[in-house]
Amino acid sequence: MAAFRWIVSTLAAVLPLLLAHIAVPSAAQDTSLQQCYWPLNSTQSETLASIAAALDYFPYDMSFITTCVNVGLTCSDNGYVTQINWQYKAIQGELPSEIFQLMHLEYLSLRDNYLRGSIPSEIGSLVNLTFLDLSNNSFSGPFPTFFSKLTKLSYLYMRQNNFSGSIPDAIGNMVSLNDIDLTDNSFSGSLPASMGQLTNLNNIVMSRNQISGSLPPSFSKMASLSNVYLDDNLLSGSLEALAALSSLSDISLRGNRFRGSIPAAFAANVFTSFDVSVNDLSGPLPSGLRFSEPPGGPQFNASFNRLSGVIPPDFPVNSFFVLDLSHNELSGRAFFSGQNEYPRPYTINFSHNNFSGALDPSVSTLTYLHDLDLSANHLTGSIPAFISSLTALTLLDLSSNEFTGAVPPAVSSPTGLLSMNLAHNLLQGSLPRALSRLASLTLLNVSSNQLSGDLTPALSALQSLELVDMSANALNSSIPPFFGRMPNMTHLDMSINLLTGSVPPSILTLRRLSHLNASHNRLSGPLPYAAASPALIIDLSFNMFSGSLDKHLFNLNRLALLALHHNQLSGRIPEYLCQSVLQIILLSNNALSAALPQCLPFLSSLQLIDVSNNLLYMDATTFQNMPPIRLDIRSNYLYGSISPSPNITLSSSSSSSSSSASPPLPSLLLPAAPQAQSFPPWVVLPAAIIQEQGALPQGQGGSGTAGGGGGAGITVAWLAVEGNCVGSEGAGQQRGAAECAAVCGIEAGQGPCGGAGAGECVLSRTWPPSLSCSCSSGYVAVTANGTANTTTCQLPPPSPAPPSSGLSAGVVAGIVVGAVLLVAAVAALLFLLLRPVQRRLLDLDQCVAYRIDDIRRATNNFSEDCLLGEGGFGSVYKGTSPDGTLWAIKRAKFMTNDFEKEVRAVATLRHQHLVRLLGYCMDYNAATGHQEQILVYEFVPHGDLSHYLDNSSYVDKHALADSDANSDAYTTNKPREPLSFADLVRIAQGAAEGLAYLHHSLTPPIVHRDVKPANILIDKGRTAKLGDFGLLKTDNLENATMLAGTPGYMDPDYGDSSIVTTKSDVFSFGVVLLEMMSGKKVVLEESGVAFSYRHISIWANELVMAGKIAQVVREDLNAPPDAIIMFVDLAMDCLKRPGALRPEIRDVARRLAAILAIAEGNAPAGDANGVKQKPWTGTDGSDEVKAADEAAEPFKEEKV
């Protein structure tokens, strides 16, 4: 009862106070909530309704708005809007000018919407505005000069838009500015000197634009300036304008072109972050630099410059959260001084310098160090035992130095170590047993040393290992089976050792295994069973494996590269390989026999197949319509005829296929024929068989002799004496005998039938007259001693054979009559084909409808002289119009019902970086029974990008051949003038602009699907035009499930979803960027290792992850380091997975424009007014001899 009375009395005392507090707000109470409930001024309501109506999309209904509640507004007590917060509302449209009628507005935030267009000049009327945020929209146009009227504006944020042009001098009138953020736009020009008037400015953030010139001296007047972020621009000159600003605490100038030294005056500042990386700074590190303790610790990054000298004794090495001095020219001993005042993990990167001598004992003081990278220096001696003091290490990289001796047990002291890289040293002996304590170790790279011994004690317990590279050592045991008990293993490289035995089957069953390389060893026995392996790449080449390719040996639903070349495999190549997703098959230099599966070259995923130097036989006509892949079938047994193709290597020009152990002539090689006259005119005979066996069995040949004696003779029209040789149909013109002979590798006086003492080689005397010495008919006529006929191949046919072995008069008469009838039939057919036929023409205003006669005249009746190339669409010819205009004419290989759709879609496209469609032709072809479908494009005079790359000395000559053509580069061998770095960037930027037009200016967008160098054409001025866009490429993206693109350029995500998007094109473009920068092709051959291949993105990613960007770049490429970094960084961004992480192509184009500005502004080497470019340094490339991918997942996001 007492408690009840206490509650009542308490309520009686408190309740009046609560009611009074609700009725009369205290002065200290926040009034913002009250202001939302004030009634709106009627004029303000009408203005807000007009604003909503003018937008394409607005989330609120403003028709009857009477208060500021729940619509992102704040109002004054008299009903005027003072604040608008409409960020993240998905608002669409242009910014309505009505918004600037809200004269009392003080705060306006429209960030993260879909607003576009320029900023209306009426914004200058908002004289009370103190805060303006327009970030993350699509605004465009110049920096609004009328911002200068906003004299009260303190905070201006315009990042991530499309603003361009220079920053006007009028910005100096915005005297109240405290923060300005213009990041991620396209502003250019220099920073105005008037900015020195902004004495209240605290933060300048203008990263990732195209601002150039030097920092104006007036910057020294901005006494309040504490943070400067100008990363990734084109700024140059010295840093002296900032040296006088003692208030500076954060500097970020990464990715510019600043020169000179780091000012010694910076010793007066106290920094929390200092980043001048990727510039052209030189000189020593200044003494006396001081750093404070921000959250997370101070950071210092001066990587990728030309700093030299030694590290100053007072430089606080041990005081940073991140210290990066990599890629400079620092020398002396790498010592580590300074008191570690902040017990926390931190990073030190001294890689790619000239530090020398033994590892300094001061490293033992780095007790909290997490990451230590000293790679690519000149450190010598043994790895010291005092490294055991670094107990907090998670990454240790001592690669590419000159360390000797054994790997000490001390490296196992940091038990939390995740990554250890000791590659490319002179280490010897076996790995210490103490390594077994590193239970968390995921990456171990000890490649390119002199290690030997048993691996079991050191590694068998390391269950966390994901990547192991022990290649290029002296390991001489077997591959340890314990690797098969490591569930996280993705990459295992044991190549270039002395290993024996076989591959333990348990390794190939690891569920995460992606790459296995055991090439260049002494492994033997049958191939390991890998049907359950998830591996993408298996390389067992250059071993002694024997046996056959048994069915179900490999997981064909996943395996992309199978390298078994240079072994002792035998038997047939099984048909089941045709059911795989293989992209590269390397089976050369084995003893494989029987027929090559006819389906194999037509495997949809295939890029390259090499079966050379085996005992295979095959009908060459199988490859007549083969897709554009690289096929190497040298030194096998072929028969049949085939037109020349740049994608097929038929015969060797350097060595004969003769062998003392040649097998008997297969019966399938020479099909039985009842009469010699019906024997196929193109037959391949291995030279050794002719030399050793002489005459052929009766019933399989006609009269004549072969070898050194007499005998039954051979009824053939073409004799292969080297490797393989097949007929060449459709040459289209008479050619000299020497040229024809070169097709087959026959040279005058050479081969088993030619030269002194070789004996007679009498070929058939039964050739029909139509074949007499006509190179265009597809054979090479040889004389009695085996030498080729001379000059223009106009000699008469060989003399008739003796009557006893020749044709009867009746047979000859029958042949003559038949020939006459045949000529008459051909003449009648030609009349029908060439007769003009009027066809219905499409009613299109955008391009011309040409008749077939126009096309025939333009191409000289589709003469091979006019043939530029062949691709997936069909053949491409160079044509000349009646007025002399050059055309590129694409003649479809197959008829499509969507041809009219193609024309209507492409004819409307107009962009300076797209190849323009000029016209089309539809005509019925009586010879084939199909409708001719032809597109007429503008002729781009300087070929395509692939030919500029292919004709350069640095190009991987084993790369895949490209398809479509648009220039006479396809008919000449004239070398191209090498492309400069500026040329490459200009071409890439133009292609990106054309692709951006397809992606962002059309509804629905067009996905190109086949971005590659062969489809980037070079116009005058070395600008780019994008070609081969169109057919079936405007479909809804959700339904875009047809095979998309060229293998090697195709988006890996396509393999998971079978759907292409605009981000698929971005991936392909990233591959092209890597090709341009590296001089390598999509599938590249490892240096020094024949026929060992991997994808360029895997190779590049490994180098980037290892901090070896210099090795991604061609050695002969003269370019500013900052531009190189930006270019490679952009390429790797385009290759990210999943596709959602990749940038839009319009952003790619914008970043390329910034890089181009650097490239074009860079003075040539040796110019007195220019800047000497820092050479790229790194390893000599000898480590690139391994076949499989190493080191990292192909598309990790982390980059240098």
- 657-666 per-position pLDDT tens digit: 333 333 322 2
Task: Kindly tell me the burial class for residue 1167, based on how many C-beta atoms sit within 10 Å of its own C-beta (0-12, 13-18, 19 or more).
Answer: exposed
- Name the CATH superfamily for 943-1165+1173-1200: Transferase(Phosphotransferase) domain 1 (1.10.510.10)
| Residue type at 735 in one-letter notation | R
* Of residues 816 and 913, more confidently modeled: 913
- Asked if pLDDT for residue 293 goes beyond 90, the answer is no
Q: What is the pLDDT of residue 399?
A: 93
**What is the pLDDT at residue 426?**
94
Supply 938's token pair. Answer: 């503008």
pLDDT of 481 > 60? The answer is yes
Q: What is the dihedral of CA 559, 564, 565, 566, to 10 degrees?
A: 160
Domain boundaries, given as residue ranges, for the chain:
30-253, 654-659+672-799, 838-939, 943-1165+1173-1200
Residue 926 has pLDDT above 90, yes or no: no
**Residue-level pLDDT at 1176:** 34
Average pLDDT over residues 1125-1142: 86
Q: What is the mean pLDDT of residues 1153-1176?
A: 51
Distance CA 171, CA 194 (A): 7
pLDDT of residue 719: 29
What's the DSSP call for residue 558?
T
Query: Looking at the predicted structure, is the pLDDT value of residue 222 above 60?
Result: yes
Bigger pLDDT: 658 vs 220 = 220
pLDDT higher than threshold 80 for residue 1028: no
Question: 589-603 as b/e, with b when 16 or more CB fall inside 10 Å?
Answer: bbebbbbbbeebbeb
Residue 1067: pLDDT band (50, 70, 90) is very high
- Distance (Å, rounded) from C-alpha 1200 to C-alpha 1194? 15
SS (H, E, C) 375-432: CCCEEEEECCHHHHHCCCCCEEECCCCEEEEECCHHHHCCCCCCEEECCCCEEEECCC
Alpha-carbon dihedral sign for residues 737, 738, 744, 750: positive
Predicted local confidence at residue 745, as pLDDT: 31
1038-1046 mean pLDDT: 45
Q: Is the dihedral of CA 857, 862, 864, 869 positive or negative?
A: positive
Q: Give the mean pLDDT of 542-553.
A: 85
Comparing 831 with 365, the larger pLDDT belongs to 365
Residue 1174 CA, distance from chain mean position: 25
pLDDT at 716: 27
In DSSP terms, 1070 is beta-bridged to: none
Eight-state DSSP code of residue 955 = S
Most confident option among 285-294, 758-767, 972-981: 285-294
What pLDDT shows up at residue 642?
55
- CATH number for the domain formed by residue range(s) 30-253: 3.80.10.10
HEC string of 564-595 equals CCCCEEEECCCHHHHHCCCCEEECCCCEEEEE
What pLDDT sits at residue 251? Answer: 95
In whole angstroms, give the CA distance from residue 328 to residue 353.
5
Q: At 913, is the pLDDT very low, low, confident or very high (cuts 50, 70, 90)? A: confident
| pLDDT of res. 872 | 56
Residue 612 has pLDDT above 70, yes or no: yes
> Rounded distance, CA 340 to CA 557, Å?
54
Whether residue 988 has pLDDT greater than 90: yes
The span from the CA of 676 to the CA of 698, in Å, is 10
- Whether 1010 is catalytic is yes
pLDDT: is 874 or 780 the higher one? 874
pLDDT tens for residues 860-870? 888 888 888 77
Residue 1115: per-residue pLDDT: 80
- In DSSP notation, 795-807 reads SPPPPPPPGGGS-
The domain defined by 838-939 folds into Phosphorylase Kinase; domain 1 (3.30.200)
C-beta separation of 873 from 1031 below 8 A: yes
CA 3/CA 13 separation, integer angstroms: 16
Residue 975 has pLDDT above 60, yes or no: no
| Residue 194 or residue 935, greater confidence | 194
- Identify which of 161, 203, 163, 158 has the alpha carbon closest to the alpha carbon of residue 182: 158
Range of weakest confidence among 578-587, 792-801, 881-890: 792-801
Q: Which of the residue ranges 632-636, 738-742, 825-829, 979-983 would you say has the lowest mean pLDDT? A: 738-742
Interval 368-393: pLDDT, tens = 888 999 999 999 999 999 888 888 89
Pairing between β-strand 1016-1019 and β-strand 1023-1026 as defined by DSSP bridges: antiparallel
Q: So what's the pLDDT on residue 9?
A: 46
Which of the following is catalytic: 280, 854, 923, 1010?
A: 1010
- Higher per-residue confidence, 1010 vs 408: 408
- Among 73-87, 193-207, 586-600, 695-709, name the most confident range: 193-207
Strand partners, 368: none
Check pLDDT > 80 for residue 1195.
Answer: no
pLDDT value at residue 198: 93
Task: Judge whether residue 31 has pLDDT over 60.
Answer: no
| Residue 1126: predicted pLDDT | 87
pLDDT 10s digits, 821-841: 444 444 443 343 333 333 333
Higher pLDDT, 599 or 816: 599
**Is the pLDDT assigned to residue 1159 strictly greater than 70?**
yes
State CA 145 to chain mean position distance.
42
427, two tokens: 């280490």
| Average confidence (pLDDT) over 1062-1087 | 84
Mean pLDDT rounded to a whole number for the chain: 72
Question: Per mean pLDDT, which of 153-157, 997-1001, 1091-1095 is the most reliable?
Answer: 153-157
Query: Which one, of 527, 436, 559, lies nearest residue 486 by Cα?
Result: 436
User: What's residue 1080's pLDDT?
Assistant: 82
Question: Counting Cβ atoms within 10 Å, is residue 459 exposed (0-12), middle (13-18) or buried (19+)?
Answer: buried
pLDDT at 1038 over 50: no
Question: What per-residue confidence (pLDDT) applies to 341?
Answer: 56
What confidence category does residue 237 fall into, taking pLDDT thresholds of 50, 70 and 90?
Answer: very high
Interatomic CA distance for residues 1107 and 536, integer angstroms: 25
What was the pLDDT predicted at 940?
84
> Per-residue pLDDT for 292 more than 70?
yes
pLDDT tens column, 243-275: 989 899 999 999 899 999 999 999 899 999 999
Q: Inform me whether the pLDDT recorded for 584 exceeds 70.
A: yes
Residue with more model confidence, 107 or 643 = 107
Q: What is the mean pLDDT of residues 913-926?
A: 79
Residue 1104 is predicted with a pLDDT of: 82
